[in-house]
Amino acid sequence: MYLQGDYNMTTQSLADTLATYGIAVTGLTTTQIQVAERQQRFLVELSKHGVMQPSCDASKVDRHVVNRWLDSDTLAFRRRYQSQMLAHAEHLYEIALNRVEKPKHNLGSDTLLMRMLEARMPEVFRRNVEIDAPQLEALMALR
């Protein structure tokens, strides 16, 4: 059985996705299922684009609606959103590894890629800055 919408998503795939986050489709209203479908359409696009506006455009979901879902965590949307952002960050990491392994095939800015990785995976790519006591005192004096 197919749920409403243009994305050809089966009831089972949506049920499996929601069950991962502790939500049973059988307990949802028709309206909640429609919301879950719209969320899933957006999340599929988010995993491709990695940023909100192109994902909104491609899924035909308004940015304000996405922000409302994030704020209210409707149907565990916040965790699902974070999961897709992580998937996209991992995709960027794959690109970076590919550039290391095949440097002659690079088709983009390595600097831009590194900045994107720093933003998406700061625990791995953040810049570490050490400040000793005299430097800290100098910075505090500037306040």
Q: What is the pLDDT of residues 17-38, one digit of tens each?
A: 999 999 999 989 999 999 999 9
User: Which residue pairs, CB below 8 angstroms and at least 24 apart, start in 22-25?
Assistant: 22/76, 23/75, 23/76
Over residues 26-52, the mean pLDDT reads 93
Residue 11 in this model has a pLDDT that exceeds 80: no
What pLDDT, on a 0 to 100 scale, did the predictor assign at position 12?
52
| pTM reported for the whole predicted model | 0.70
How far is residue 122 from each of residues 13, 46, 51, 87, 114, measured CA to CA in Å? 32, 19, 17, 15, 11
What pLDDT, on a 0 to 100 scale, did the predictor assign at position 14?
87
Least confident residue range of 6-15, 39-48, 57-66, 89-98: 6-15
How far is residue 4 from each of residues 32, 58, 62, 88, 101, measured CA to CA in Å? 12, 17, 18, 27, 44
**Span 106-125, pLDDT tens digits:** 777 778 788 888 888 888 78
Tokens matching residue 100: 């290391």
- Could you tell me the pLDDT band of residue 2, with boundaries at 50, 70 and 90? very low
